[in-house]
Amino acid sequence: MRWEVWLAYFAACWVIAVSPGSGAVLSMSHGLSYGVRRTSTTIFGLQAGLVIILLVAGGGLGALLLASEHAFAAVKTVGAMYLIYLGLQQWRARVEEGSATNGNEAVRVTLMSPRRRFATGLLTNVTNPKGIIFMVAVLPQFIDPTHPLAPQLAILAATMCGVDLVVMHGYALLASRMQGLFRNARAVRWQNRFFGSVLMAVGAALFFVRRQHA
């Protein structure tokens, strides 16, 4: 891969990663609820999903998926319903009040296990039809057909994940800095409802995503 091609792709990765989407919403939601350290598991799940989408698109299966109206509709529906499900789970997350040792109010929030946080991140990206559309539309512009495909995909995947790791951790860190504003149960419930509503809205918006026509 030529240096100037990689630089162009590197710049495109930053634009894509910074653009708000379901991954950013999930990173901020978990960052606010669990802190940056625990949210890293979620973010690694997002990267695993990103790699799967990139390999699918780079291997030609993405174009095949977009060519099939029924297959694309199935992926879109699954992705939308999954985000709506996550939003409902966030909305209904249990928040319990208790008393801290110093007499102040304490808040106990039900935590996801690391395995579940990873799976949530992975499925959020894998079932995102917008990610498939982007990869199918953009990746071919950075792949040289005269050179082996595997090394190029490896470079593209490493670059994309490296940038996305930084950006998603940035979103999580920004959200975690607001944890001090959510020290009582009522505030935490409103935080859960806000991010739950955003996830459901993003999921509903996926129903309106259209596939590319040949």
Q: How many angstroms separate the CA atoms of 111 and 116, rounded?
A: 10
Cβ neighbours of residue 123 closer than 8 Å, sequence gap 6 or more: 45, 49, 82
Residues of the chain with pLDDT under 50: 99-104, 214
Summarize pLDDT for 1-10 with one digit per residue, the tens.
788 889 988 9
CA distance 177 to 160: 26
> CA-to-CA distance for 84 and 48, rounded, in angstroms?
21
- Cα torsion 24, 158, 79, 112: sign: negative
- The predicted pLDDT at position 100 comes to 47
Q: What pLDDT is attached to residue 61?
A: 57
User: What is the CA angle 24-58-20, rounded to 5?
Assistant: 15
Please state the pTM of the whole predicted model.
Answer: 0.74
pLDDT at 167 (0 to 100): 95
Between helix 69-91 and helix 22-34 the angle, nearest 10°, is: 20
Q: How far apart are CA 44 and CA 63, in angstroms?
A: 26
From CA 134, how far away is CA 185, in angstroms rounded? 40
